[in-house]
Each structure stands twice: as structure tokens, then as C-alpha cells.
Amino acid sequence: MAIYKCDACHYIQETSNEYIGKKAKCPQCKEVGVILNTISYLQEVTEKNILLEKKLLDKDTIKERNTSKNIDNILQVQDSIPIKDFNIHNTDIFSQKDHYTPIVTWFKDRYIQAKVDPKMMDTTGFFDEVALYIGRNFNNIGSIVNQIKYIQNKQYDTVKINLSKNNNNEIEQIIEFCKMLHHYSFIARYNFQKKDKIIYLTLSNITKIKNFFNGLWMEWFVFIQIISFFKEKHMTLPIVRGMNITFQNKDKSELDIFFINNQGEPVCIECKTGEFRQDLNKYFLLQKKLNIKKEHFLLCVFGLEEEQAKGLTSMYEITLVNETTLIPHIKSLF
């Protein structure tokens, strides 16, 4: 088989040998690319990667610390790997060790130990789909999630949702959400009493499900939103979720979302809902310890008014966003 390669967006596709040497428009970006002999192309890519690897090994055995050189070189190698057309809702690309190693290296160069759980970036389950539904409809669904969280933390197993004060659109959306929870086994039982406009949910006892409703859904929402943006821009940059770090003085922190952008700069995102003001100083101190730019250290507060986010951002050395302003701000960092 021959291979079509687009130099503009890195799209790759197999095709017939009879088209070798001919030009064709890319199905994704419409730029003109050349159809190559597969063996010749693989030899060329292999030789380039060997040269890049040799350059990295010759860099003083990677002795230079506290600089951006190491991460830049790692990203160069990564950028030379063709980007596959992956399904963000069913992929383990971001959970592979080679993929998140640049982040571990970034912390190591600052004498900070980083511990990554690869399963936190594996989207082959259904946590991401449910999290997206919550985040995109937070104004209506947020109260239902808070109710589930409250009931399960009280160690009860039944949630009663009264819809008598909701309009038809809100009721339809809440019913769809509850059916989704039941379909994906996030709850054990779902019962809608249409006449009384009351929904009864029987909660799950599974720890992962409880943790999801206790706040991990926010991390999943932000994570999926960001890798969706990566895919849109044909990038597979290093990103981790729920990473634990230990400083030299043994202080420990957990970072909700951390990634390195296409300029080799770190971006840290913490997620909150409800009352968050008592934690502002904690995040400010963390931003200082990590020495990350203000615009690159984000506190995403779900349900926060945009004007309030802007006002608080002007007062603190961190940037506050909500679930709708998050991605526009992320895009400004590229």
C-alpha cells in the first residue's frame, strides 16, 4: 500500500500503489499533499527520529536543569510523530507513559517529584461522557449533582428529585440526564413518577462513582474539553489529570489538570464548585511555588459569574474562569 501524507496538518491515510508520486487534496485541511511509497516514508521518518534522539543524547547527557531546553527537545520528538485520528471518548493515548513523561521531566528539573496514575487519562469508560453532559448543562443539572453528592455523603441511598417547579425544557433535560446515569450504571435504579413529577434514584455504592459525584466530574469535564481542543488543532500534547506532587520540603499537592502547551510552557488548572473563596490563598501559594505565569494558572469555578471571575482575577495572582470561559482562555495561550 502507498501512503498519503499532508505536511500541513499531518493527516495520514493508506491508498493504492498506483497513486505513488501523485498529488491530492487533504480530506481534513484541503491542502495539497504527496502520495508516497510506504517503505520509503517509514525509512525517512525512522532516520529523522534517530537523528533527533542522537541530538538529545548529545546534550551534555541532559545535565542542564531548570531550563526549558529538555522539554523543548522532548516536544520536538513528539511533534515528529504523526497524529492519529483518535476518538477522545475512547482512547488511551494520553495515558501512555511516553506521552506524559515530558511533564514528569518538567517537575524533576525543578526538584519536584511527580506521581502520575495513567488510568486518570484513560477515556475508555463513560466518566467523560457524563461529565460533559453535566458541564455543558451545569445551570440546570448542577443542582441535581449537588443533591446526589449530599445524599451519598449522608450515607443514604435514595435521592428524591421534585420537578414541580421546573419548566418543561428543564424537566426533559433532567430526565435525559437521569436516564444517562442509569444507562451507564452510575445509579442502581431510576424511577420517574410522571403524574407527581418526581424522580427517585437509587445510588451506587461503587467508590469510583461516589468520587465522581464528589467532584471528579469537574476534572473529567475540563480534561475532555482540553483534549477536544488538542484534536481540533491536530496536537497530542502532554497532559495529566489528578497528578500528585511532592516538593523538596516534603509538602504535597494534587493538581487537577496539568499540561504543556505548544510553546513548552506549563498550564495548571484547578477545579471548584460552590464556595471557593477560602481556597484562594492556597492556590495563590501553589502558583508561587510552581513559578507558573498568572495567565497559565487557572481556577475554574463552575457556576461563577463571568464579571466576578474578571474582578477576582484582577485581585489575585491567578486567573479565574468558569465552565464556559475556560476554553476561550486556553486558546489564548497557544
170 in Cβ contact with 140 (< 8 Å):
yes
Which of 155, 185, 208 is the last residue in one of the domains? 208
The Cα–Cα gap between 231 and 12 comes to: 15
pLDDT tens for 173-206 read 999 999 999 999 999 999 999 999 999 999 999 9
The verdict on residue 35 lying in a domain is no
Count CB atoms within 10 A of the CB of residue 126: 16
The Cα–Cα gap between 202 and 262 comes to: 45
Which of 151, 183, 208 is the last residue in one of the domains? 208
Query: Does one domain contain both 323 and 268?
Result: yes
pTM over 0.75: no
The verdict on residue 13 lying in a domain is no
Burial of 70 (0-12, 13-18, 19+ CB in 10 A): buried
The verdict on residue 177 lying in a domain is yes
The Cα–Cα gap between 84 and 275 comes to: 41
pLDDT tens for 83-113 read 555 677 777 778 788 889 999 999 999 999 9
The verdict on residue 5 lying in a domain is no
Q: What does the pLDDT read at residue 302?
A: 95
Looking up residue 330, the CATH number of its domain turns out to be 3.40.1350.10
Residue indicated by cell numbers 470561559: 325
Burial 13-25 (b: 16+ CB within 10 A, else e): bebeeeeeeeeee
303 in Cβ contact with 322 (< 8 Å):
yes
Query: Does one domain contain both 175 and 319?
Result: no
Residue among 212, 242, 222, 239 nearest 127 (CA) = 212
- Point out the residues of the chain with pLDDT beneath 50: 59-71, 73-82
The three three-digit cell numbers of residue 132, written as one number: 460533559
Query: Does one domain contain both 159 and 292?
Result: no
The verdict on residue 156 lying in a domain is yes
Q: What sign does the dihedral 160-164-170-173 (CA atoms) show? A: positive
The verdict on residue 95 lying in a domain is yes
Average pLDDT, the chain: 84
Which of 208, 231, 253 is the last residue in one of the domains? 208
Give residue 184's domain range.
Answer: 127-208
Query: Does one domain contain both 172 and 222?
Result: no
The verdict on residue 74 lying in a domain is no
Query: Does one domain contain both 232 and 251?
Result: yes
Max distance between CA atoms of the chain, in angstroms, equals 74
The verdict on residue 153 lying in a domain is yes
Q: What does the pLDDT read at residue 124?
A: 81
Residue 257: C-alpha distances to residues 54, 61, 83 (Å): 32, 30, 22
DSSP 300-332: EEET--HHHHHHHHHHSSSEEE-TTTHHHHHHT
Q: Residue 304 contacts by C-beta under 8 Å, 6 or more apart in sequence?
A: 276, 320, 321, 322
